[in-house]
Structure 1
Amino acid sequence: MHVDRIERSIGKLIDEISDAEILLPEIQREYVWKPTQVAKLMDSIYRGYPFGSLLFWETDEAPETRAMSVNGAGAEPTKPPLFLLDGQQRLTSLHRVFTDHPDAQVVFHVENQKFQNQSAATGRDPKWVKVSDVLNPKASMLRLTQRLLDACSALADHEIEERLSKIKALRDRRFVMEVLKGFPYEEVAEIFVRVNSGGRRLGTLDLAMATLSTRWKGVLTQLQSESEHWLREGYGGIDVNFLSRALAGVVLGRGLSIWSHSKLRQTRDDELERGWKVVQRGLRRLIPLLQSRLGLTRSDPLPSMIVLIPLVVLLGERSGDDLDQDTSNGVVYWLLLATIRTRYSGSTDTRLSQDIRAVRQDDPIRSLLEGLDIDTSRAEVTERALRGRTKESPYFFLSLLVSLANGARDWWSGAELLPPTDELPKLEHHHVHPPATLDSTRFDKAMVNDLANLVFISTQASKRISGRSPREYFASLSEADLRAHLIPLDDALHDTENYARFLNARRALLAEAMNALLERFRPSFLDEGPAENADPSAGLALDLALYGTLRDGGRIGFSASGEGISWAGWAAMAELDSAIESARVAGLDSDVTIAGESMPVEMIEESLQVPIGPFLVTGTPEEWRAVFDRELETARPLSAFPTMETKQWHGEVTKFPVTSTD
């Protein structure tokens, strides 16, 4: 085994991709770069900045491959190919730009020497030239220069020619290549994961996928085929990552860990094949159940896809084809409560391990409910639990389910809320009382965006409302239209001045409907148990408020409240934003100063956890990003930041989902 170090021009590498002399092994992920990243890469190469090396594997093993996201590749190679391990995003992007791919229309402004993706504005400005036109071997520099002169460029003709020729010369810039020779597939997979980890801790899912592909060649093709099947069914959330985790869960009997890597290596082919059949069978039992019992015709409303995996194991390993009523009810009941309790908001794989063990017990539903601490009680949703919740909370999902169960449809058009179609429109929601009608001095953003003020209607319906109060536009809706969306019918509540009373009344209707939904599926063995709040965080609140911007020293204020809790503090907006991005992009831990004390921002499994006063706030990096971006939209001037008496919290800390913040 050895490593060769050579150099090759960009033009030569692009030709080799087109001739199928560079291929992707199946352990590679999909192409994910955005147009802005492609334009920045072109800019870096143009300016002579370093643009990294490439890692290849030369082998006689002929591993399984996956297609590159480029034009024209697929010819039969005339010589043994090289397999690309590191540099897929860069090489794919360059190939796309050089070959005029429709998703890589990079243009160059000859005067300010700027690259960006083509837009309507650049299309109207003749001083922008498409990079692929310059790179075309048959392109005439004379004609391009004349075209820019005709566009009244302020540059002299020789300056234009120099800049265009500099782009033309990009084809000759050279990559440093390292080529692994004589390495077995298993070791190459390990190298791939480490190289592509970007300095972060090795992801357990990365390790699992790489190991599965080496242990069972062709597995990613099977996963992709299964994923495409469910995409056609509306369940795009059942992607390759989900299926890999589900397969590992069945085979290992637990969530993923670094330990999983070596364990998967020892798994026999027949065990992997048997596990894959369990996953497929479980999905073909679970998804129709969710579609028929909850009206959940697609996966995008689900707050977490991980919550499905224990149920896939349970139903996939169950003998017989018929699913009895008690089991089907119990499956749905657990899914609803696990969602309310944000079961997988932190320590994902630890919880998954517990739940997979539970479904393999003699009484799986009871065992699953024991994991939620409600095996002897009846869970109920209270009005208090709904107070201050927004669209990021799990109750948003439940409000959709009760609207579906109530026969709700889009106002005026009558369209379905979740149409079962291949071309899935985005689930939409809008305000009953539009923000423009509410007095901002009386009702803060949390009250305006309260879950009780949201209904599932289309943009067209929202435009018809057009900033009018319910008092005006309810007149064109029937009582049945309002009841279906659980809108209180009391006329007095439709006036803006009674907005707070409207929220209370609608929360009561939502809570009643949510409890009726739980009642439909509650296992009979819980009938005699005492009632218990379905949400342990009910009555607790964490309000976030942003002041200023990321550029002017903006701050984010925290205000925590609840029984025996009253706390306030703040952090620098840029510091928290940087910590979120470090976790989201690279999985890196950070520190943020909150209330004058340095607090750890840690990635625990797939959850980003931050101690904020009395709460350990948890959620995926993507959930943190969504909440932060939500607050940015309503940020107030930095001059409005209130005088805040902050103090460190020294009491008990309670886990609190970031999606439940106001």
Structure 2
Amino acid sequence: MPVEKAEKDVQTLVGQISSKEILLPEIQRGYVWKPTQVAKLVESLYRGYPTGSLLFWKTNEAPATRRVAIGETQDKPAVQPLYLLDGQQRLTSLHRVLNDHREAQIVFNVETEAFQNQSAATEKDPRWIKVYEIVRPGAKQFPLVGRLHEAVPSLDPDLIGERVGRLAAIRSRAFHMEILTDFPYDEIAQIFVRVNSGRPLKTSDLALATLSARWPGTLEKLEAEAREWAKKHYQDLDITFLTRALTGTVLGRGLSTWSHGRLIAASDEELEAGWATVQRGLRHLIPLLRENLKVSNSNLIPSHVALLPLIVLLGERPDEPMDEDTANGIIYWFLLANIRNRYSSSADTRLGQDIPAARESEPVKQLLGNLGVRGARIEVTPQDLVGRTVGSPYFFLSYLGAKHAGAHDWWYGTEISATAESGQKLEYHHIHPQATLKNHPGSYSKTEINDLANLAFISGTANRRISDRSPSDYFTDQKQPLTKAELAAHFVPYDEHLRHADAYRDFLNARRALLADAMSALIDRYRPKWLDEDVTAADPLAGCALEFQLFQSSWDSSQIVARATGEGFEWTGSLGLAELEAAIEAADGGLDSDIEISKEIVPIRVESDTLTIPIGPFLVSGTIESWRKTLDREKGDAQPLSQCPGVEPRPWEVEPIPFPVTNIE
């Protein structure tokens, strides 16, 4: 089958997108590039670096398409369109830059030749000029050079002119094109998957591409379903989640790099039955969680993967009444799967165990057996809560405990709600404010200050009203004092001596005891009666904690100091921020890598979108997005590199304990 070869410049390609002569087939994922990536692309064109080729498909089939993310209405093409298979992110980015899109305000520093997205600082600095001002149609270079020379008089005007001219010339940079002709849609989908298998394209994107080819109209079905759940505050049931759910239902396991091959072999009947299961399962599961467990917003749920086996269970369950024990058993497993971090690592493998279990004759018993808690009574102890913070699944339990206890907001007097808006929108509040603890003589650590036992759920208005006041002050506010009953519903001890920062550690111990009792009672409330009374199953991470502290510098390598503690051990090590960020980016492309931690090279393992790194006593796992959020949080709390303590390299020689990245403080 013929493959045409051609070259076209940037300006011509951008014009063809505007005139709808270049379209995106449905198999393409959405536009995902960030402004930083757009800036790097423009810089590569400016410096003459290779920017890759483009792959197109020419056909008379008129396949289903999705809009290019350029933010404007497109006219019907006057000629036969080309369907873009590889190069969407680059061409969409260039179209945005050359058309002054609000999310592609790339600027150029004429002195340093740096590129970045527009900011408040660059707007005020005359050395920075918007790229669009140079590449737009009809731009006159001479006035621009004069203006820039006034801004940087030390810079030779000829050099400024040369740089401006080189930037304007990116419109003429040519891209090599390969155009596939006469290929059928299903074969094009396979080519798309193969072309992108070595790129930073997630398995969910590849699965969606394959589903779109095997089952035309898939994207439209997923988008419509996602919109309906978003209206009900379950916005995390998005296209990616629904793709995972459909794939898991059809294949009986989680996503992996071989999923697209199995999906190609699936029959239309299997795909239709799988989608019916997903829709029916969600329509039974979400009301059960929302009404019985009071989970009114999907952003409360620590692991959305834990929904997948339950979707299969309820989607394929016979149409008959559900008894109380079965309903409770489903919620019981869901709670335990979350607090035991069932899918924090090896999610694909564990879904391969749990989805088939959900199809057994006694699915809840089978699922609990997979968790290893079929007969055990689960009890949360105060020790389980030591070192837990907002990333921990116990944070989820603390909200549910307060919700079930009828906790009210400390300003509006209404019951706390995860769907409240405006001033009543729910926030977590430091009962003892950070400001009074950070420089206290008690030397409270960051983990202690942000401990779960110091967090309560109140409205944004109440949080701002309290601000940095001590509980010894705002608990007894003359205008609106908090009663013993109001504090008890939030499991806050009423003892007056615990309201002072000097007694903060005693406060944590007292509140952990109250929270642990409430969490145990909540879990026990859903424990099916048919479960045997047996020994209490302990949390394997009880008393374990991992704390990161970033020490940053603009002139030297930033370092992360990691401190791990647990029953009978303590370990401190260090790792480079840049190395860890590079490893996360490599993982996003599906690549394993290595990283140096405390002078020892350790392997980094990637499975689907999960990244696992051995850090001292722990085997730390989580999604790539969770790792990024962890680093973003640390950057917001970074200390100067000059304050970084010396860390003696100490390899860990014992088998590491699995530890979720969301538990890192």
Scaled by the length of structure 1, the TM-score of the pair is 0.91
Q: Distance in 2 between matches of 1:547 and 1:107?
A: 29
Say whether the 8 Å CA contact 2:423–2:461 is kept in structure 1.
Answer: no
Q: In the alignment, residue 532 of structure 1 is paired with which amino acid?
A: A
User: Corresponding residue for 1:531?
Assistant: 536
> Structure 1's 637 and 147: CA in aligned 2 closer, same or farther, altered over 3 A?
closer
In the aligned structure 2, how far is the partner of 1:447 from the partner of 1:262?
A: 49
The secondary structure found in structure 1 opposite 2:175 is strand
**What is the alpha-carbon distance in structure 1 between the residues aligned to residue 141 and residue 642 of structure 2?**
54
Counterpart among 607, 610, 613 of residue 610 in structure 1: 613
Which residue pairs with 1:590 in the alignment? 593
Distance 1:422 1:69, change over 3 A: farther
CA distance in 1, matches of 2:123, 2:528: 62
State how far apart, in whole Å, the 1-side matches of 2:311 and 2:529 are: 23
Question: How many aligned residue pairs are there?
Answer: 659
Tell me, yes or no, if structure 1 residue 189 matches structure 2 residue 189. Answer: yes
- What is residue 97 of structure 1 aligned with on the other side? 97
Alignment of 1:27-426 (within 5 A): 27-109=27-109, 113-124=113-124, 128-140=128-140, 164-199=164-199, 203-320=202-319, 322-414=321-413, 417-420=416-419
Q: Determine the structure 1 residue equivalent to 2:515.
A: 510
* Distance (whole Å) between structure 2 residues aligned to residue 136 and residue 595 of structure 1: 51
Contact 1:561 1:567 in 2 (8 A): yes
Residue 517 of structure 1 deviates from its aligned partner by 1.3
Contact 2:26 2:219 in 1 (8 A): yes
Quote how far apart the aligned CAs of 1:427 are.
5.4
1:467 equivalent in structure 2 = 468
Counterpart in the other structure of 2:584: 581
* Partner residue in 1 for 2:444: 443
Mapped partners of 2:322, 2:444: distance in 1: 49
**Of 638, 656, 660, which residue of structure 2 is paired with 1:657?**
660
Higher mean alpha-carbon deviation, 256-265 vs 159-168, is at 159-168
Matched, 1:541 2:542: no
CA contact (8 A) 2:590 2:608 kept: no
Structure 1 residues 246-284: Cα deviation after superposition (integer angstroms, max 9, x where no partner): 111111222233443332212111221121111111111
2: distance between equivalents of 1:612 and 1:123?
A: 42
Contact 1:583 1:608 in 2 (8 A): no
Q: Which residue of 2 aligns with 1:7?
A: 7
- 1:155-194 deviation per Cα after TM superposition (whole angstroms, max 9, x unaligned): 7887766655544433222111122223333333233233
Q: CA deviation at 1:97?
A: 1.7
Distance (Å, rounded) in 1 between the aligned partners of 2:557 and 2:71: 45
Deviation, 1:475, is 1.3
The one-letter code sitting in structure 1 at the alignment partner of 2:657 is T
Secondary structure at the aligned position of 1:7 is classed as strand
- 270-279 or 292-301: bigger deviation: 292-301
Please say which of residues 97-106 and 147-156 is displaced more in the overlay. Answer: 147-156
Is 1:482 the counterpart of 2:487? The answer is yes
Contact 1:579 1:591 in 2 (8 A): no
Post-superposition shift, 1:642? 5.0
Measured in 1, the distance between the counterparts of 2:108 and 2:69 equals 23
Q: Does 1:501 align with 2:506?
A: yes
Instruction: Say which is worse superposed, 568-577 or 159-168, in terms of deviation.
Output: 159-168
Q: Amino acid of the residue matched to residue 513 of structure 1?
A: A
SS in 2 for 1:300: helix
Distance 1:419 1:598, change over 3 A: closer
Matched-pair contact (CA < 8 Å) for 1:546–1:573: no
Report the Cα distance in structure 2 between the residues aligned to 1:459 and 1:153, rounded to whole angstroms. Answer: 50
1:625/1:123 CA distance change after superposition, 3 Å: closer
Deviations 1:526-554 (A, max 9, x none): 26333323x22113333444455585345
SS in 2 for 1:617: strand
Q: Supply the AA of the counterpart residue of 2:65.
A: T
- Give the C-alpha shift of residue 341 in structure 1: 0.2
Q: Which amino acid aligns with 1:541?
A: A
Secondary structure in 2 matching 1:526: coil
Query: Hey, what's the Cα distance between the residues in 2 that align with 1:634 and 1:151?
Result: 35
Secondary structure of 1:475's aligned partner: coil
Q: Which residue of 1 aligns with 2:427?
A: 428
SS for the counterpart of 2:411 is coil
Residues 379, 537 of structure 2: 8 Å contact kept: yes
Matched to 1:538, the amino acid is A
SS at match of 1:456: strand
CA distance in structure 1 between the partners assigned to 2:272 and 2:113 by the alignment: 55
Equivalent position amino acid for 2:76 in 1: E
Conserved in 1, the CA contact under 8 Å of 2:5 and 2:179? yes
Q: What is the deviation of 1:315?
A: 1.0
The letter of the residue matching 2:19 is D
8 Å CA contact retained: 2:424, 2:459: no
Moved more, 388-397 or 453-462: 453-462
Structure 1, unaligned stretches of length 5 or more?
none
* Per-residue deviation, 1:141: 5.0
Give the Cα separation in 2 of the matches to 1:605 and 1:114.
35
Query: CA contact under 8 A between 1:127 and 1:153: conserved in structure 2?
Result: no
Question: Are the aligned partners of 1:550 and 1:573 in contact in 2 as well (CA < 8 Å)?
Answer: no
SS in 1 for 2:75: coil
Identity of aligned residues (%): 51
Long gaps (5+) in structure 2: none
The alpha-carbon distance between structure 1 residues 152 and 587, as it changes in their structure 2 partners (threshold 3 A), is: closer
**Contact 1:607 1:619 survives alignment (8 Å):** yes
TM-fit CA distance, 1:575:
6.2
CA offset at residue 101 of structure 1?
A: 1.9
Q: Which amino acid aligns with 1:572?
A: L
Q: Structure 2 CA distance, aligned partners of 1:356 and 1:146?
A: 67
Question: How far 1:615 sits from its partner (Å)?
Answer: 2.7
Distance 1:78 1:39 in 2: 32
Alpha carbons of 1:550 and 1:312: their partners in 2 closer, same or farther (altered >3 Å)? farther
- What does the per-residue CA deviation read over 1:310-369, in whole Å, with 9 as the maximum and x for residues that have no partner? 111111112226443222211111111100000000111111111111111111111111
Q: Which amino acid aligns with 2:451?
A: D
Amino acid at match of 1:465: I
Conserved 8 A contact 1:378-1:529: yes
Summarize the Cα distance change of 1:580–1:486 in structure 2 as closer, same or farther, 3 Å threshold. Answer: farther
Tell me the TM-score normalised to structure 2 length.
Answer: 0.91
Residues 197 and 451 from structure 1, CA distance in 2 versus in 1: closer, same or farther, beyond 3 angstroms? same
SS of match in other structure, 1:8: strand
Q: Does 1:491 align with 2:533?
A: no
User: CA separation of 1:132/1:550 partners in 2, compared to 1, >3 Å: closer, same or farther?
Assistant: closer
Q: Decide which moves more: 328-337 or 585-594.
A: 585-594
| Residues in 1 aligned to 2:359 and 2:233: alpha-carbon distance in whole angstroms | 29
SS for the counterpart of 2:4 is strand
- Contact kept in structure 1, 2:306 and 2:334, CA below 8 Å: yes
Distance in 2 of aligned mates of 1:416 and 1:116: 45
Residues 54-101 of structure 1: per-residue CA shift (max 9 Å, x gap): 111122332221111113353111221111111111111111122222
**Counterparts in 2 of 1:37 and 1:611: CA distance versus 1, 3 Å:** closer
**Between 650-659 and 373-382, the greater mean CA deviation after superposition:** 650-659
The answer as to whether partners of 2:423 and 2:459 remain within 8 angstroms in 1 is: no
Contact 1:348 1:606 in 2 (8 A): no
AA paired with 1:430?
Answer: H
Matches of 2:649 and 2:147 in 1, distance apart?
63
Aligned CA-pair RMSD: 3.0
Contact 2:387/2:544 (8 A) holds in 1: no
For residue 602 of structure 1, what is the amino acid of its counterpart?
R
Name the stretch that deviates more: 554-563 or 503-512: 554-563
